[in-house]
Amino acid sequence: MAVSYQWQRRIDRMKNLAQGFFGGGENHQPRPKLCPACGSLVGIHATRCHECGANLTFSLAAASKSLSNYFGDENPVTRVLLIANIAMFAVSYLAGLASGESGIGVAFSGGGMALRAGSSWLPAIVELNQYYRLITASFLHLGLLHLGMNMMVLMDIGPQAEREYGSPRFLFIYIFSGIGGFVLSALRGNSAAGASAALMGIIGLLLAMNMKRGGALAQAQKSRLISWIVMIFVIGALPNVRIDNWGHFGGLATGFLLGRIMSDRIPLSAREKQIAQILGWLTGLMVIASFILMFLHFRQPFGSAR
């Protein structure tokens, strides 16, 4: 009995499905595959990519690419930092309301809950070993204006730095610039919070990058960055202004130093990429661990953060 063309196609599809389910057939012939990290075509029996050196079973590069696809291929770390800062602001606000505070102020007022929870307060860092505060302080803000200004700067300079140095190294530089800033701030007796120390590190990084390069564009960017630095420190020196210039200086110096040490380009060789991925993932795990410790010690009494 003759079978129509449409039914013949349906029968063929059902045969292929049956072969795929029960095994056998040409569908199960080994085929070349794509590297999950860089997308290069690799051999059938390859265990490591010949282009980027990534392990084809599991690699930090492949995991990073998966996260990048989730948050967007362009500037994923900048996006994650933006989301994390806004989320922590919301958490601090709700925690403050639950504890009886009037809430976080529009400008730089309020935020006692944020300071108590994770600011760079030296007695808590030294006497209670709460070193996580040197990281969590970069994600806590004292008001909408404080948060808004810092996030505007993040979205202005973050994408450029992330493109130039790569996402893993950008995260490493951002977090460790914040640590450098809050170490100096705490040693000066301040109890501070905010992303500005880490952002000053990125400004220092870009300044170091443009000092290495020649040309009119690099000179223009260097002049712009120096103007920003001078303006920030002048504003911070004004009376009755709650800006921590010690934290800014520590972050700026840390970022500038890292910019002088690191090559001002994305990692190219397999070894450079591997080192960058390790730095990025270790930094990310440090941030996650710091937040966990902050929440675990949230209600631990230790006086006032002021």
Residues catalogued as catalytic: 196, 248
- Interatomic CA distance for residues 27 and 131, integer angstroms: 55
HSE-up of residue 31 (Cα within 13 Å, Cβ side): 6
Please name the amino acid found at residue 187.
L
Distance separating the N- and C-terminal Cα atoms of the chain: 91
Please name the amino acid found at residue 124.
A
Taking a C-beta distance cutoff of 8 angstroms, is the pair 143, 105 a contact?
yes
DSSP state of 26: G
DSSP state of 139: G
Long-range contacts of 237-244 (CB under 8 A, 24+ apart): 242/108, 242/142, 243/196, 244/185, 244/190, 244/192, 244/194, 244/196, 244/197
Widest Cα–Cα separation across the chain = 97
Q: Which of 143, 146, 175, 170 is nearest to 157 (CA)?
A: 170
Q: How many CB atoms lie within 10 A of CB 257?
A: 17
